[in-house]
């Protein structure tokens, strides 16, 4: 895929407040969109642990330039809220994260009105995307469930207004969690058998999680264990930070590579445009290739 420049000027509006009763801390979002255009599709993006609405600009800006309106919340686990592992609220944050996405989708009209964009958006074309913990959050909205201690699937958090999604470095099954993860992150036991909404799963070929005893294939479970239609993009040399998707030269990036970030952003944009029924030319071209000529990435679908 080419590293083409951004297609359009973009603008962002923040912070915007979203009704979220009983949350304890106000739910705030940022909206990023192209300066021009109408009938724009929406991406609701869930950040990874500790981030906020101010992160992931390398992805969000590129999606907006490609014609998407992107809504980013700050979840409770953001560093700015200082809720650590030992905070009694931490055990339920995974549920609040999902509730955040539902609140955004349910109040999308008001959010867009606050941003002055309500007349420019196609609210029938909504997708969710997430990275790491955000991918598990987005996956729940796509239909995945969380298994309890007895292996029984929990509540259905899917949202009927969501037509497609993309999961970047999504948590795999929980039967191989490390002792630390099993004790502190017991909700990391997804059941993908009910995740029926079309989705692109993105995995890094060198993403070795400290939360699982398995290797990088752990991050492909969302593809292999969910019903079709699904696609899997594997980026051979990518680690968990996927080249630096949270920001340029941020401290936690282990595999700084701007070209990798562009590849990821553009592949997700192409997939969502196809899945939302807008234009399948770019995704067809990618899927038709199946694998980059130098082995940088590969795509499989079912």
Residue 4, pLDDT above cutoff 50: no
pLDDT confidence of residue 84:
86
Tell me which residue of 262, 268, 267, 232 sits closest to 245, measured CA to CA: 262
The predicted model scores a pTM of 0.95
pLDDT confidence of residue 1:
41
**Sign of torsion, CA 203 206 207 208?**
positive
Q: Which of the pair, 6 or 189, is modelled with greater confidence?
A: 189
Scanning the chain, the segments in alpha helix (DSSP H) are: 57-65, 93-106, 108-114, 133-141, 179-184, 221-224, 258-275, 281-289
Could you tell me which residues come within 8 angstroms of residue 44 by beta carbon, excluding any fewer than 6 positions away?
A: 70, 71, 73, 101, 104, 105, 126, 127, 128, 129, 138, 162
pLDDT confidence of residue 7:
64
Numbers of helices and strands, H then E, in the chain: 8, 11
Per-residue pLDDT band for 127 (boundaries 50, 70, 90) equals very high
* Residue 22 DSSP symbol: T
Per-residue pLDDT band for 294 (boundaries 50, 70, 90) equals confident
3-state class of 193 per DSSP?
A: helix
Q: Over the stretch 81-97, which tens digit does the pLDDT of each residue have?
A: 999 888 888 999 999 99
How far apart CA 56 and CA 43 sit, in angstroms, is 13
pLDDT confidence of residue 2:
40
Sequence spans of domains, the chain: 10-301
According to CATH, the topology of domain 10-301 is Rossmann fold (3.40.50)
pLDDT confidence of residue 256:
95
Mean pLDDT, the chain, rounded, equals 94
* Residue 35 DSSP symbol: S
Percent of the chain scored above 90 by pLDDT? 89
Could you tell me which residues come within 8 angstroms of residue 138 by beta carbon, excluding any fewer than 6 positions away?
A: 44, 46, 101, 128, 129, 130, 165, 166, 167
How far apart CA 57 and CA 268 sit, in angstroms, is 15
Count the neighbouring beta carbons within 10 Å of the beta carbon of residue 194: 15
């Amino acid at each position: 895929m080419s590293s083409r420049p951004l297609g359009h000027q973009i603008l962002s509006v923040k912070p915007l407040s979203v009704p979220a009763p009983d949350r304890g801390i106000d739910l705030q979002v940022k909206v990023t969109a192209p300066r021009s255009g109408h009938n724009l599709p929406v991406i609701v993006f869930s950040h990874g642990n500790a981030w906020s609405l101010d992160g992931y600009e390398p992805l969000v800006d590129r999606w907006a330039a490609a014609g998407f309106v992107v809504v980013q919340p700050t979840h409770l686990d953001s560093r700015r809220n200082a809720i650590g592992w030992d905070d009694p609220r931490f055990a339920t944050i995974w549920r609040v994260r999902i509730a955040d996405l539902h609140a955004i989708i349910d109040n999308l009209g008001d959010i867009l009105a606050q941003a002055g964009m309500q007349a420019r958006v196609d609210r029938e074309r909504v997708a969710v995307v997430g990275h790491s913990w955000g991918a598990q959050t987005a996956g729940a909205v796509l239909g995945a469930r969380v298994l309890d201690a007895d292996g029984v699937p929990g509540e259905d958090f899917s949202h009927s207004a969501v037509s497609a999604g993309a999961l970047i470095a999504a948590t795999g099954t929980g039967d191989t969690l490390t002792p630390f993860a099993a004790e502190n992150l017991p909700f990391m036991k997804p059941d993908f058998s009910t995740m029926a909404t079309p989705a692109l799963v993105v995995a890094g070929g060198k993403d070795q999680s400290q939360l699982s005893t398995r290797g990088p294939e752990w991050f492909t479970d969302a593809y292999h264990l969910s019903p079709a239609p699904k696609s899997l993009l594997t980026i051979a040399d990518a680690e968990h930070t996927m080249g630096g998707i949270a920001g340029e030269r941020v401290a936690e990036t282990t595999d700084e590579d701007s070209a990798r970030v562009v590849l990821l952003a553009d592949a997700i944009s192409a997939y969502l445009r196809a899945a939302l029924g807008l234009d399948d030319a770019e995704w067809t071209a990618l899927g038709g290739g199946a694998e980059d000529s130098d082995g940088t990435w590969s795509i499989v679908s079912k």
